[in-house]
Structure 1
Amino acid sequence: MLILGMVGLVACSNEKTKNQVSKEVTTKEISTEDLKSKLDDNSWIIVDTRINDSYNGWILNDEKRGGHISKAVDFSANWLDVDSEKKEETLDNALKNKKIDKDKNIVLYDANKKDAKKVASYLDEKGYKNLYIYDIKDWAKDKSLPMEKYKNHEMLVPAKVVKNILDGSKPSTFENSKNIKIVEASWGEESEAYSKGHVPTSVHINTDTIEPPPAWMLDSDENLSKFALNYGFTKDDTIVVTGLDTMASYRVATVLRYIGINDVRVLNGGNNAWVAAGYELETKSNKKTPGTEFKGAIPGNADLIDTIPELKEQLKDKDKFVLVDNRTWDEYIGKVSGYSYHNKKGRIPGAVYGYAGTSATTLEDYRNIDNTMRNADEIKALWKKAGIDTNKHLTFMCGSGWRAAEVLTYANVMGLKNTSLYSDGWIGWSNDASNPTETGEPK
């Protein structure tokens, strides 16, 4: 049955919410049985308001099961605290894309009795009326009720889990980890970003170390072997990559996977997620500890990254392979190069536009407003719109491998295995005048 209730909104003292006005928001509570009966009713929509890591599959508030209610969409209460010039536009687009419409009955659920109320207050201010509150813990404790989580959700780590590790515990999915190491990825030697603040204990990796200038292409296997020993990495390590620029984190994480480290993960949302969780960054420099043995061949996961000759062979077989171009549309059609240090424009013949963002340094099509991974169903919808068949081998590319490394990781989080990265990207391809190129909108 439906139970009428009142949710009180208390104005938060946080600067980010200083414009909120204290008011009472009318909501209703909904029982588990009633919610179960609404799963296939298009006039109802179920919204997960927890942190995105919970939606992905992590258990962070003592839920009996991880993941989200089947068919639920996500609209995290955390998004409301993001400081962004285009915040309202981005959130409005999220509501539209997720079909959280004013004429629907909207069930907002959480596990902390806070997030759903926060989102309810936000929606009430925008004119939404039919708002319901639900506790996901009630659903999670009944194993007969459908829940979903991403097959490899552990590849994206919540800030809370990293904090637990630093506090000396081994959270779920880390039980068998022998050596857990945290590294920070950013451009520049002892970069400005690292100096201003990083996750405690993290050791800085200058991205130039794995892709030296002026070409900024992935270094040779020989030099990557030296890099691994210089940082004391072994194939048996568990490494969590963090950073202010999440794209750099995914680039380094992919290279670490390529050289053969068995367990490499990324802090979902980067340093901003750490701060949003209420934790402090440190500014002291943590020095790397060189090692003497990687304990395995390098590269140990050679199939993860494709060379130009390998890519050319793939392009001959369109029945089995898809080259997904994760650059902006203007880069894809050859209107701009996308890079200040590279002036050649165009695309690789046969590449399919795979969405990205508005510039070579952004990835809005694949991220939420807080730079966490976007809902997998929405990513798959983009690929379907582009005609990308996920049953085929997906090779991701961009300009030089950064954007594509992030998209590749998301594909792996979702459970897609038949994937790889063409690391040298458009820059590597177009630097050789003998390689064919094309411009304009594809036929």
Structure 2
Amino acid sequence: MPGEPTATGPLLTAGELATRLQTTAQHSGAVPVLLDVRWDLGGGADPDGFAAAHVPGAFFCDLEAVLSGPGAPDGTDGRHPIPHPGDVRTWLRAHRITPGDPVVVMDGGHGAGAARGWWVLRDAGQQDVRVLDGGLRAWRAAGLPLEQGPAAAPVATDDLPAPSAEFREAPGALPRATAPQLRGGLPAGTAGLDARPAARYRGEELGPDPVGGHLPGFRSLPVADLYSDGVLRDPEEVRARLADAGVDATTPVVVSCGSGITACQVALAHQQVFPGAPEPVLYPPSFSGWLAGGHPLATGAEPGTMPPA
């Protein structure tokens, strides 16, 4: 089922992916579908970068058009609202990807786009989604082959058979937190983690938001503390950093960031180092949506406390 943790964690190294592709091709197994979410914070989707070099056979997946959807006019869904699962499934069908196909998501190497794809695809009902650790940068560094060319055109959905029952599931396979829930304060024993840079968390830098700060009660855990150049740090180091934020394998976790993208990297790291543990719950609007809703903010290095509603 989508969202169920795997025994080995969701990350694959470049060597592991290359072996899997070769082995399944030789033995007529289910060859993984490769999706390249080439995207940079501040720069947007990068189809030109994909066309210049990508893993052979990969499809380009636009984070802005496919992995984000329209949100509330007042901005309370954040800068990158989660798309409706039905829209994601339509895109998958147009690329002849079925719910049971194994999928490996990657990006240029920063990791944010791939992690967002990992979360959104599973939310849309995709059952087996992994992530290439380090993305194209790691694949290239391993000396593995590359391909050039633009993204493949999707098949018109009118030319496809009716969607299977698996693609007609109720939307939203993964749990998520809402602003009203968080406004009431985090439940006892639950850790709230903020993936943004520490200076934005403290309120010293604004980034794309008009003011800085963080959700009261959330602790700072920047993505850079868990990854180095888009590659997950040593598992013991990641577990230690999570422990510093009050998280072990049994801790309920809510993750947030600026707009619901890098928070997925924290969830991904958690699932890699705590395979089988309950998955962190995403607050999709994150700081941008929280701010648009006029909710209380905290500043400084300490989490602070949510004031009474």
| Shorter-chain TM-score tier | 0.7 to 0.9
Task: Give the equivalent residue in structure 2 for 1:159.
Answer: 14
More strand by share: 1
**Counterparts of 1:336 and 1:345, CA distance in 2:** 6
Report the TM-score when normalising by structure 2.
0.79
TM-score by length of 1: 0.57
Report the CA distance between 1:311 and its aligned residue: 3.8
The corresponding residue for 1:337 is 206
Pairing 1:299–2:171 present:
yes
SS in 1 for 2:24: coil
Matched position secondary structure for 2:228? coil
- Matched residues in 1 for 2:186 and 2:140: separation? 47
Change (3 A) 1:152 1:404: farther
For 1:351, give the aligned amino acid.
F
Alpha-carbon offset, residue 328 of structure 1: 1.5
CA distance in 2, matches of 1:397, 1:239: 25
Q: 1:176 to 1:373 in 2, by over 3 A?
A: farther
Distance in 2 between the 1:186 and 1:263 partners?
20
Deviations 1:177-209 (A, max 9, x none): 646211110235662221221100000001012
Note the C-alpha offset of 1:407. Answer: 1.4
Q: Which runs of 5+ in 1 are unaligned?
A: 1-149, 357-362
Within a 5 Å distance, the mapping from 1:252-401 to structure 2 comes to 252-287=117-152, 288-289=154-155, 291=160, 292-293=162-163, 295-296=165-166, 297-299=169-171, 301-303=173-175, 305-312=176-183, 315-319=185-189, 321-339=190-208, 342-354=209-221, 356=222, 363-369=223-229, 371-388=230-247, 390-401=249-260
Is the counterpart of residue 427 in structure 1 residue 294 in structure 2? no
Q: What is the one-letter code of the residue matched to 1:237?
A: D
Q: Secondary structure at the match of 1:430?
A: helix
Q: Equivalents in 2 of 1:243, 1:372: separation in Å?
A: 12
Please report how far the alpha carbon of residue 262 of structure 1 lies from its aligned counterpart in structure 2 after TM superposition.
0.9
Tell whether the 8 Å contact from 2:239 to 2:248 is kept in structure 1 after alignment: no
Deviations along 1:91-131, whole A, 9 cap, x unmatched?
xxxxxxxxxxxxxxxxxxxxxxxxxxxxxxxxxxxxxxxxx
Check if 1:211 corresponds to 2:68.
yes
RMSD: 2.8
Name the aligned partner's letter for residue 68 of structure 2: E
8 A contact 1:179–1:236 mirrored in 2:
no
Cα distance in 2, alignment partners of residues 389 and 163 from structure 1: 32
Q: Percent identity of the aligned residues?
A: 23
Instruction: After TM superposition, list the pairs within 5 Å mapping 1:4-403 onto structure 2.
Output: 152-153=7-8, 155-167=10-22, 169=24, 178=30, 180-187=32-39, 191-209=47-65, 210-212=67-69, 215-244=79-108, 245-287=110-152, 288-289=154-155, 291=160, 292-293=162-163, 295-296=165-166, 297-299=169-171, 301-303=173-175, 305-312=176-183, 315-319=185-189, 321-339=190-208, 342-354=209-221, 356=222, 363-369=223-229, 371-388=230-247, 390-403=249-262
Q: Is residue 178–residue 237 contact of structure 1 (8 Å, CA) maintained in 2?
A: yes
Does structure 2 conserve the Cα–Cα contact (< 8 Å) formed by 1:324 and 1:352?
A: yes
- 8 Å CA contact 1:178, 1:236 repeated in 2: no
SS state at 1:411 partner: helix
SS at match of 1:194: helix
| Alignment-derived partner of residue 76 in structure 2 | none
Partners of 2:118 and 2:242 lie apart in 1 by 23
Report the Cα distance in structure 2 between the residues aligned to 1:224 and 1:169, rounded to whole angstroms.
26
Contact kept? 2:34, 2:103, Cα under 8 Å: yes
Q: 1:261 to 1:311 in 2, by over 3 A?
A: farther
Contact kept in structure 2, 1:401 and 1:424, CA below 8 Å: yes
1:437 matches 2:308: no
Cα distance in 2 for partners of 1:195, 1:302 equals 32
Cα offset, 1:344, TM superposition: 2.7
Q: Deviations over 1:221-274 (max 9, x none)?
A: 443343333333332111001221421111111111111111000111111111
Give structure 2 stretches of 5+ with no counterpart.
Answer: 72-78, 305-309
The Cα of 1:213 is off from its aligned counterpart by 7.3
Asked if the contact 2:38–2:107 (Cα under 8 Å) also holds between the matched residues in 1, the reply is yes
Change over 3 Å in CA distance of 1:157–1:176 after alignment to 2: farther
